[in-house]
Amino acid sequence: MNITFLKKIPAIVLLSVIIISCEQKVKTKSQSNHKSVKGPVNTQDTASVKSIPHPATIAIEKINAAQFQSATQQEKASKPIEKITDFKTVQSQLTGIVDFKEMDGRLRVSKINFRNGTSSGNKDQLEDCTFVAYFPSEDILLLEGGHTTDVSFDLKTGQKTYDAGNPDLVSQDHS
């Protein structure tokens, strides 16, 4: 009996080892699955994903009708700059400063004598320009050049369009 039992022991041990190893594989698989469910794998470098906070403060205040009226009355109204478009008026105001000539029902400029003592250079370029307006408070003469471009001259300094600009596109406070 001892011999048959001894013959069965290796088979029992082998069977036990197989069962134990199967349980280990099952535990390892279930534990690894459990770990992967815990959270996602971090694939980005955390240093490259930083947000810079931009603080913004908004304050809203409720006011009554009297406060609103007071605030609107205190606001200054913007008035357009005075401009003269009448040929005769401008010719009389700018006598000696701007030499005009009337051609084809349009008032053209042949020469400008600026108040700083200089005068306009290219007469041919000026003759292509027609009078649009004169802004006495700014002392700017606005002309229209080819292709309806604005051409302006500051009569005090001799500055041209890029420096003088078109006062018709500006508003000024007169309080």
Contacting residues for 163 by C-beta, under 8 A, at least 6 apart: 154, 157
Mean pLDDT of the chain: 74
Sheet strand arrangement including 140-144:
98-103, 106-112, 130-135, 140-144, 150-154
Enter the DSSP assignment of 151. Answer: E
> Considering the entire predicted model, what is its pTM?
0.51
Nearest in space to 160 (alpha carbons), one of 114, 92, 97, 107: 114
Q: What is the pLDDT of residues 131-147, one digit of tens each?
A: 899 999 889 998 888 77
Q: What is the pLDDT of residues 73-115, one digit of tens each?
A: 766 555 678 889 998 898 899 999 988 888 887 888 888 888 8
